[in-house]
Structure 1
């Protein structure tokens, strides 16, 4: 599974930025390439959170639960 970690800043306090995982079940099928290009799902997530500004993002490949080494 690909995780999208967004760097978000508050519109009311632009210097107040933080990382947040925005991965939902909708992101389960995206590829690393799609994530690196900005994933259209990220735009949809931001539309639903208008009080925040997207300052950047990064992609992380998550470990699958129950998987053994």
Structure 2
């Protein structure tokens, strides 16, 4: 299992950023290579969060116990 940790910053307050675990069924079968190349699913996920800017992301093997967005 690959987990994507995304750093999202508010468009209204660019200095206000937080790291979130991206958890949706769209990412269930993502490969590490696909994740590192930008995960097309991540772009789709960002469309659902128009008030935020994706500042960074990282791919980790396994699951994380953080709040998903």
Same fold (TM > 0.5):
yes
* In 1, Cα distance between equivalents of 2:62 and 2:25: 13
TM-score, length of structure 1 as denominator length:
0.86
Unpaired runs of 5+ residues, structure 1, are 64-69
User: Which structure has the larger Rg over C-alpha atoms?
Assistant: 1
Partner residue of 1:29?
29
Partner residue of 2:50?
50
Partner residue of 1:16?
16
Aligned CA RMSD, in angstroms, stands at: 0.9
**Divergent runs of 4+, >2 A:** none
